[in-house]
């Protein structure tokens, strides 16, 4: 059964890159959102296994979406990775405080993204 990965980012080119990287792999079903409210609605309906959240999004930022996902029993199981150009220790701390499981900085290569997804979904599965 395919794992569901959602990416939420207001940069259309980044969404296209993530979708192009993952959708050719039958192990993944890819969902996308362009703002925080849409991300939260899709996650609550689709129950993704992994969510990549941009920090700076319209309507709700990534930290707000992460908190909401982790507080909701129907989405709390999802692994959340903050996907952002903000790479300072302060930003990483804020992500941890919001409940994020990991942090991935932009820019990134498609191979690095695929390795991160594989690591989270297949090598750490028994830690839940």
Q: What is the DSSP string of 21-58?
A: HHTTSTTEEEEEESSHHHHHHHHHHH--SEEEE-SS-S
> What is the pLDDT, as a whole number, of residue 124?
54
Q: Which residues of the chain have pLDDT under 70?
A: 124-128
Reported pTM:
0.91
What's the confidence (pLDDT) of residue 126?
44
Domains annotated for the chain, with CATH where assigned, are: 3-115 (3.40.50.2300)
């Amino acid at each position: 059964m395919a794992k569901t990965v959602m990416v939420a980012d207001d940069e259309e080119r980044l969404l296209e890159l993530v979708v192009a990287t993952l959708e050719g792999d039958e192990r993944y079903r890819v969902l996308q959102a362009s703002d925080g409210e849409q991300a939260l609605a899709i996650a609550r309906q689709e129950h993704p296994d992994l969510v990549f959240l941009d920090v700076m999004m319209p309507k709700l930022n990534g930290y707000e979406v992460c908190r909401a996902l982790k507080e909701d029993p129907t989405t709390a199981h999802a692994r959340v990775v903050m996907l952002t150009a903000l790479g300072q220790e302060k930003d990483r701390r804020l992500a941890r405080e919001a409940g994020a499981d990991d942090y991935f900085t932009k820019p990134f290569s498609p191979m690095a993204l695929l390795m991160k997804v594989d690591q989270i979904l297949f090598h750490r599965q028994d830690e839940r």
